Chain A
């Protein structure tokens, strides 16, 4: 089983739609969670951290379910510019060190006009 698993997609949604991605992780001791965004042929960029209580940043909402070991990302009112690959990232270290992050393979989103 992969340490971090994501549905690769692709997700093709119309502009204005709401779309949700899920990600599961295998190490129950994992401490830190992030969503990164990666545009085609570009570097990954941090979209948002994921906090235990859930958090929101504009149209983006991240949730963490420790009992079921999954993380979700909800995008409301999708824009064309949201088209990208979304990477689920987990710090599996129980010591809390940021030294190693485990990246999912990514979920590809295309927002259609």
Chain B
């Protein structure tokens, strides 16, 4: 059981380049998320998708776009990378039950450096 799989694990880009981070989950979860983690800042939500076909902005969406391709896959795109987007990116998924007591399961992250 793979859980949440992210690709690539590492990437170096030049300022202005574009790229897409891929995420797939095999737990049949409805909700998926993209976070970035910077030193001393904790995890910050970029975008989330409550269910297939819907996406919503999180706390720090500027400079990013997302696509919920199907129930399994949720991709994050940087159209024109900037050094401020150097970070570790985590994808997560969860059940979407009422009550809110559903934890999130994380992929092992993508370490992205923008030069």
Q: Measuring CB to CB, which residues of chain A are less than 8 angstroms from any residue of chain B?
A: 4, 8, 31-32, 34, 42-46, 49, 87, 91, 93, 95-101, 103-106
Q: Which of A43, A45, A99 contacts B31 (CB 8 A)?
A: A99
Q: Which residues on B sit within 8 Å (CB–CB) of A95?
A: 100
User: Does B52 belong to the interface (CB within 8 Å)?
Assistant: no
Interface of B is mostly: loop
The contact sample of 7 A-B pairs, CB cut-off 8 A, is A32-B100, A46-B103, A97-B96, A98-B31, A99-B31, A100-B45, A106-B42
Chain B hits for A99, CB < 8 A: 31, 48, 50, 56, 96
Residue B102 lies at the interface, judged by CB distance under 8 Å to chain A: yes
Cβ contact of A101, chosen from B40, B97, B104, B109, cutoff 8 A: B104
Give the complex CA separation of A91 and B98 in angstroms: 12
Return chain A residues, CB-CB under 8 Å to B96. 97-99
Complexed CA–CA distance, A100 and B45 (Å): 8
> Considering only CB atoms, which chain A residue lies closest to B88 in the complex?
A41
Q: A98-B31, A98-B96, A105-B40 are in contact. Are A49 and B108 (CB under 8 A)?
A: no
Say yes or no: B42 contacts A104, CB within 8 Å: yes
Q: Is the CB of A103 within 8 A of B100?
A: no
Q: Is A42 a contact partner of B100 (Cβ separation < 8 A)?
A: no
The answer to whether A31 touches B100 (Cβ under 8 A) is yes
Interface size in chain B (residues, C-beta < 8 A) = 29
Q: B residues within 8 Å of A by Cβ? A: 31, 35, 40-45, 48, 50, 56, 58, 90, 94-109
B40 near A44 (CB under 8 angstroms)? no
Chain A minimum-CB-distance residue to B94: A98
> Could you tell me if A44 and B90 are in contact, using CB atoms closer than 8 angstroms?
yes
Which chain A residues border B45 with CB–CB below 8 Å? 100-101
CA distance A46 to B48 in the complex (A): 19
CA distance A43 to B80 in the complex (A): 26
Q: In the bound complex, what is the Cα–Cα distance between A106 and B39 (angstroms)?
A: 10
Contact of B100 among A4, A46, A91, A104 (CB under 8 A): A91
Chain A residues within an 8 Å CB radius of B105: 46
**Across-interface contacts of A93 in B (CB, < 8 A):** 100
CB within 8 Å for A105 and B107 given contacts A98-B95, A100-B58: no
